[in-house]
Amino acid sequence: MTRDLQGRTALVTGGGSGIGLACVRALAEAGAKVHVVDVAGPAAEAAADEVGGQAHVVDLTDPAELATLPSDVDVLVNNAGVQHVAPLPEFPPERFAFIQSLMVTAPFLLIRRCLPAMYARGWGRIVNMSSVHGLRASPYKAAYVAAKHALEGLSKVAALEGAEHGVTSNCVNPGYVRTPLVDGQIQAQADEHGVTPEDVLEQVLLRRAAIKRLIEPADVADLVVWLCGRHAGQLTGASLPVDGGWTAG
């Protein structure tokens, strides 16, 4: 692992768990000082303690709380997200609005907040944690698919505006990653259909992937660090699948 990010500062939302935690670790390993943002206080503190970073216990759906976060960072990783699975006629409108607030409005507010310092420095890296569901739809995930598709658009606009200021913006698009978010989905579907978690994994989650195993959080975090590294300056406005071939099919 290179120390490309020595002297740089990064902010990772949802940094207390799963992919965000892996990003916190990988960015710190690459030399960055990391701000760990999460609504789950103990998880944020533990992650920050582990890497010598700083925890910020913030609910990103509250713009007033979000406005307390540091704005002078070199790397912004918009990662926090949640899932809700329900058919459209039954999808709770307030849950839909909450998911757009967390997964679209908060990234917009953070990008808006962090760009001035990046522009002043002439360098910045925005990485938006999208999903295969930013590129493809699945039934029963209306809010999540809508939010990830919106994040794709936001990321491209940031790429176009940031280009002349040395700022890149990209999406990373994982398939199913072994995290608490996915463990919860596996168990919920196993309970609902009266099958084993292994059946759900093979017949539902990995059905569309060519490589029949879950992706590890560190696989995704490695790509995030690479996007911030010395060879990625020309890569912007892109969406990079880490999906075991899902979107190739």
Q: Which residues bind ligand NAD (CB under 6 A)?
A: 14, 16-20, 38-40, 43, 58-61, 79-82, 102, 129, 131, 174, 176-177, 179-182
Instruction: Report the alpha-carbon distance of residue 106 to residue 169 in Å, rounded.
Output: 16
Shortest separation between residue 32's beta carbon and ligand NAD, angstroms: 19
Shortest separation between residue 140's beta carbon and ligand NAD, angstroms: 15
Nearer to ligand NAD, 146 or 166 (CB): 146
Give the CB-nearest residue to ligand NAD.
18
Nearer to ligand NAD, 16 or 123 (CB): 16
- Active-site residue flag, 140: no
Beta bridge partners of 124: 167
Nearer to ligand NAD, 82 or 109 (CB): 82
From residue 11, give the alpha-carbon distance in Å to each of 16, 27, 118, 174, 195: 12, 10, 13, 20, 40
Q: What is the DSSP letter of 137?
A: -
Shortest separation between residue 23's beta carbon and ligand NAD, angstroms: 9
Q: 93: Cβ–Cβ under 8 A, 6 or more apart, which residues?
A: none
Residue 237, phi-psi category: left (phi > 0), alpha (psi -120 to 50), beta (remainder): left
User: Where in the sequence numbering do the catalytic residues fall?
Assistant: 144
